Structure 1
Amino acid sequence: MGDDLGDEWWQQDDASESEKEDQEKQPTEKPNAKTKSERKRKAITERTVKTKKKKKSLQTECVVPKKKETEDEQSAKPKKRRKKKTITDVLATSEPKPGCPADLQNLITQYFSDKRSVIEQEELKLQDSCFLSSNDLTHSLSSYLKQVCPKWVKIHKQHTGKSSVVLLIVCSSALRAIELIKQLTTFKGEAKAVKLFAKHIKIEEQVKLLQKSITHIGVGTPGRISALIEKDGLSLQGLRYVVLDWNWRDKKLRRMVDIPEIKLDFMKLLESGILNGCKEDSVKIGLF
């Protein structure tokens, strides 16, 4: 019996010890609960980050197609070509300057640069003595001619040859030629002037007119004057002065030498004998 009591006592001790162990275990379970909450917060944070990344990627996907559409639209649109400046555009923004001998010499050099050898180009250079004084934009045609041809009365009276003229005035059009002839009134005196242009006048009629009577002044376009020289309708033998209507501009602000077809005829006219006359000192050129 004593042994039974002893066993009960030990059992009670074991029971109390086991209870103590359970009580000691309970506090150790609290950290596990804390770890679980931390994991939960971590999981929420990761989900938030993933959501933000997904949203950002969706925004990027939305932007890329929009950029592509813009590029397609731009490629579909025709590219604007830069408008080349015309002579009119350039001259409209610049003040008109009177022509000078150097302008004509530069034009001759440029035109023959690919048509003549270097030696031939040197021969085309005109001396200063070949030129009359140029118009400074203050003269009318009559006042200019009185200045450059002070002995006109004597010179035109000495001229007796037919099919030739003493003074040749070269301009860009028939209308301009008629206007210049009207401006000659106070200068020409008793001298006779003739129209040398193609508009409404057949070349055969002009040849007959030149052969029939003595004329002193010819006013016309380079194309018709060149044609008359080629057909022997106009001789340069009695020619003393060539006046170029250099400074006058049309409605598009172009000078005679700015219009390609007229420029070509003009250079042809110079080649027909005028340049040779200048080198021989029998012809003088003036820029009006």
Structure 2
Amino acid sequence: MGAATANAGAAAASKKQQKLRPKNSIRKNKTKDKKKKPSNNKVKSNEKKNETGKAAAKTPAQRGKNVVQRATASQQLSFFVNQYQSANGVQLSSLELDSLKETCIAELQGPAENITGNLDENMKVVFGSSWKQVLFEKHLKEGQIDPGCPALLVISSSALRSLELLRELRSLTKECHAAKLFSKHMKIEEQVSILKNRVNIASGTPSRIKKLIDIEALGLSRLAVIVLDMHTDVKGYSLFTLPQVRDEFWDLYRSYFHQPLLEGKVRMCLYGPVPTDLEAKKSKANDD
């Protein structure tokens, strides 16, 4: 009986102490608890800020593979030589490799994100101060400017792509129209007739270009720059990978362009994205 009474008294005293405790101290304790255990929303927000900060700290090359980078002349030449040797099953001699210097490549100017879309401005830079006389004027000059001999030849994988590139060159072809050298909707007789006039710029596909050279309608005496279109179609094919077109291009190149390139008479321009990690891949393959 006495023990029960004692327990009841202790319980009553405890309740009384709780009532007497100041409200501020209770609030402080609650505040401390909140500081100790931040909400899930705040944790997620902080994590997101950290991730954003890390992403901003990365270089463009580290942020993703889709970053456009302009290949240097050396990288373009390495890419082209590898493509040539692979497609033709040959190994260039040391003499040929020594002849293929970086000066063989007509390097484009401007920011990397504008790799395509301004071919006309790029060609002005490539041809230098003489661009207007070489690419714009329309009159034949006996002994200097023969008919059907372009200074600039653009080679692409399709007629549609050839027309797209000619649109980029429109500002240079107002006086002297460009020659369209592809088979779609165009007869070879019509093209032969066009090539009897002065031609500064021509754009076409490998098969038709070769045929016109073979029959001596298209001349190469003025040829200074060959633009190779690196554009890929919706299926991912390009001039170097599209079946049949690829073979036709290398046949054309071996027949008419390889020797002038070795001799430094013409320059090439790879127009569009070009892989820049070939040497790294090659080194890794050798290590493996």
Q: Does TM, normalized by the shorter one, top 0.5? A: yes
Please tell me whether the aligned partners of residues 244 and 285 of structure 1 are also in contact (alpha carbons under 8 angstroms).
yes
Residue 10 of structure 1 aligns with which residue? none
Report SS of the residue matched to 2:195.
helix
Deviates more, 1:95-104 or 1:196-205: 95-104
- Deviation, 1:98, is 5.1
Q: Secondary structure at the match of 1:276?
A: helix
- Preserved contact between residue 145 and residue 187 of structure 1 (Cα < 8 Å): no
Q: 1:191: Cα distance to partner?
A: 3.3
Task: State the match for 2:253 in structure 1.
Answer: 270
TM-score computed with the length of structure 1 as normaliser:
0.60
Q: Which of 124, 127, 130 is 2:101 aligned to?
A: 127
Equivalent residue letter for 1:132: A
Distance in 2 (alpha carbons) for counterparts of 1:147 and 1:242: 14
Identify, as 1 or 2, the structure richer in helix. 1
1:152 lines up with 2:122 in the alignment: no
Count of residue correspondences:
191
Match among 170, 176, 181 for residue 166 of structure 2: 181
- Secondary structure of the residue aligned to 1:123 is helix
What residue is the counterpart of 1:143 in the other structure? 121
Unaligned runs of 5+ in 1: 1-92
Distance 1:143 1:206, change over 3 A: same
- Please tell me the residue identity of whatever aligns with 1:123: E
* Residues 252/145 of structure 1: CA separation in 2 closer, same or farther (3 Å cut): same
Q: Matches of 2:86 and 2:164 in 1, distance apart?
A: 31
Q: Give the superposition deviation at 1:138.
A: 1.0
Q: Cα RMSD (Å) of the superposition?
A: 2.4
Q: Hey, what's the Cα distance between the residues in 1 that align with 2:181 and 2:69? A: 28
1:163 is aligned, of 145, 148, 156, to 148
Q: Aligned pair in 2 of structure 1 residues 205, 188: CA closer, same or farther (>3 Å)?
A: closer
Q: Which residue of 1 aligns with 2:84?
A: 108
Letter in 2 for 1:146: K
Cα distance change on mapping 1:209 and 1:154 into 2, 3 Å: closer
Bigger radius of gyration: 1
CA distance in 2, matches of 1:283, 1:277: 6
Same amino acid, percent of matched pairs: 29
Q: Structure 2 CA distance, aligned partners of 1:251 and 1:108?
A: 24
Instruction: Name the residue aligned to 1:225.
Output: 209
Q: Cα offset for 1:144? A: 2.2
Deviations 1:50-82 (A, max 9, x none): xxxxxxxxxxxxxxxxxxxxxxxxxxxxxxxxx
1:236 alignment partner, SS class = coil
| Aligned counterparts, 1:16-35, within 5 A | none
Moved more, 93-102 or 147-156: 93-102
1:196 and 1:172 mapped to 2: Cα distance? Answer: 12
Tell me the SS of whatever aligns to 2:226.
Answer: strand
Partner of 1:64: none
Q: 1:240 corresponds to which residue?
A: 224
User: Which amino acid counterpart does residue 83 of structure 2 have in structure 1?
Assistant: L
